[in-house]
Amino acid sequence: MKDNKYAKNSQYNINEYEFHTVENALASADVNDSTAVLESTETFAEKRRKEIREAPTSVEISGTSYYVANDGDDTNDGRNENAPWKTLERVSSAQLSAGDGVFFRRGDLFRGQLITKKGVTYSAYGTGDKPKIYGSRKNYANCGFWLKTDKANVYASAEAFEQDVGLIVFDGGKEWGEKMSYGIKNYEWRGDAPSFDGVLQSDLQFHHNKEDNLVYLYSEKDPNTRGTSCEMGFEELCLSGEGDGVTIDNLCIKYIGAHTVGYGGTCVENLTVKNCEFGWIGGSLQPTSNGRIVRYGNAVEIYGGCRNFVVENCYIYQCYDAGVTHQYFGNRPDFLSMENVRYSDNVIEYCTYAIEWVNSQKEENGIMKNIEFSHNLLLYSGEGWGVQRPYRHDSPFKGWQHTNRAENFVIYDNVATARDEKTHLVVLGCEREEYVPALFGNLFVGVRENPFGVYGFKGNEPFRYDEATPTLPGLSENRFSFIKNI
């Protein structure tokens, strides 16, 4: 890579950047042998997953430290490992100050939602696995939760839920449900059903009926004993509240119907998410401003402006929408900007979009500036449980087709794989050529016959792999491995 410059814009001298992820993923594999490339990449990915899951706690606290454990007591003051709090509700209601830290005991499982406070760090203490926060209210297996109905193989939940259930997962992901949302006004229904009775026809299809708020599940086996666990994701956020100055470190957060970490507003500043694991996210229904209802769910999202936003060394998988995203659709009078954003050293896999970004504002002050996506493994996009969505436009790099005004936006030393026929490797749409992110030193692995994606101006048609693709402006400093047959 020495003595080369980025083909599109000479301001990016790639000698100034560090490259190691692509080389480690390739190891000794020949880039022309896609089978060897995928096997080598998976070997490296497994090493990275293990490193992330075993990452030590390394945060510094200037204020008071508080501790939370399953055998704690919410009447304790929480300031000692021997007198911890017990619940997320106690943490959420605590009067915390900037500089404080809340530490959850490793190996413990907490259920519910956590409201974060400005300037506070949330991390782990002790030894063992990361502490778990599940949005699922309980384990619904082996407790008589699913009741037989008069319809063959159709079971009803023993409880009614107002919040939409978007996700049902058995045995930690060995099996999962397919949500059928027939009868929801303005929902983009995939296919027609004559009536509610005709909706549930295949194993693990489920429907959250808004008339009685019960969840109906078609199961060819008794779902009460289908596995050791049955987790459900509701339309709630696992972590929300104040995002400014917050650090989220070494937590494992799963099973939620909306976002696991979701912040928004005029501008969220100094949010860091690191060393975390996120899985099985999204699928609940969300009304949009134009009257449509869609399903949604991201692992880490800022909706609106942001400054100094970092997501690093995280393992993210099975998201209905994006692994990581900063986005805003609209045109606010206060001109939301997105500055100093870095997503680095993450493993993001089996998500519809691995990394997503949007800034649709027309005014010049609405800009993405100093954006870096680097050293990530973005694997198997378009192959996760989100494929049940009624429309498909999957990609490891998803920039949509909006204004996306940008300055100093670089994407380098990432591995992106797309084996599914409906997945584009890049969607980098924007209104002007100068807004296109700079791509260099990445490895793209995809099917030669598939559309490569959208690279360039708003309205560009996807272009397919051919012999010219690696030499197109802006792509010549990357490597490609073509899959002939899946």
**Do residue 416 and residue 300 come from a single domain?**
yes
Neighbour tally for 276: CB within 10 Å: 30
Task: State the DSSP code for 394.
Answer: B
The total of structural domains in the chain comes to 2
> Of the candidates 224, 259, 291, which is a domain's last residue?
224
Task: Looking at the structure, tell me whether residues 40 and 178 fall in a common domain.
Answer: no
Residue 325 lies in a domain: yes
Residue 367 sits in the same domain as residue 447: yes
Please tell me whether residues 320 and 465 are part of one structural domain: yes
Which of 224, 242, 277 terminates a domain? The answer is 224
Say yes or no: 309 and 457 in one domain. yes
Whether 18 is in a domain gets the answer yes
**Domain assignment of residue 405, yes or no:** yes
Residue 305 in domain:
yes
Q: Contact, 45 vs 377, CB < 8 A? A: yes
Q: How many whole angstroms separate alpha carbon 449 and alpha carbon 32?
A: 16
**191 and 289 belong to one structural domain:** no
Same domain, 323 and 195: no
Give pLDDT, residue 393. 84
- List Cα–Cα distances, 445 to 46, 176, 289, 348, 424, in angstroms: 18, 27, 36, 15, 11
Domain with 470, as residue range(s), is 14-55+250-483
Task: Return the pLDDT at 240.
Answer: 97
DSSP assignment of 204-237 equals TEEEE-TTT--EEEE-SS-GGGSSS-EEEEESS-
How much is the pTM? 0.94
219 and 285 belong to one structural domain: no
Hey, which bits of 405-477 come out as E strands?
406-412, 415-418, 426-430, 438-440, 443-447, 451-457, 463-464
- Please check whether residues 378 and 428 belong to one and the same domain: yes
What pLDDT, on the 0 to 100 scale, is given for residue 3? 33
Q: Is residue 197 part of a domain?
A: yes
Is position 75 within any domain? no
Residues 292 and 419 in one domain: yes
Q: Is residue 256 part of a domain?
A: yes
Q: What is the pLDDT along the chain (486 residues), one digit of tens a residue?
A: 233 333 344 467 777 899 999 999 999 999 999 999 999 999 999 999 999 999 999 999 999 999 999 999 999 999 999 999 999 999 999 999 999 999 999 999 999 999 999 999 999 999 999 999 999 999 999 999 999 999 999 999 999 999 999 999 999 999 999 998 755 544 444 444 434 556 788 999 999 998 899 999 999 999 999 999 999 999 999 999 999 999 999 999 999 999 999 999 879 999 999 999 999 999 999 877 677 788 999 999 999 999 999 999 999 999 999 999 999 987 776 668 999 999 999 999 999 999 999 998 887 778 999 999 999 999 999 999 999 987 788 999 999 888 899 999 999 999 999 998 889 999 988 888 889 899 999 999 998 888 788 877 666 677 776 666 766 667 778 999 988 754
207 within a domain of the structure (yes/no): yes
How confident is the model at residue 484, as a pLDDT? Answer: 72
Q: Which pLDDT belongs to residue 190?
A: 43
| Same domain, residue pair 260 and 306 | yes
Is residue 260 within 8 Å of residue 132, measured between CB atoms?
A: no
219 and 254 together in one domain: no
**314 closest CA partner among 375, 395, 233, 357:** 375
Boundary residue ending a domain (158, 190, 224): 224
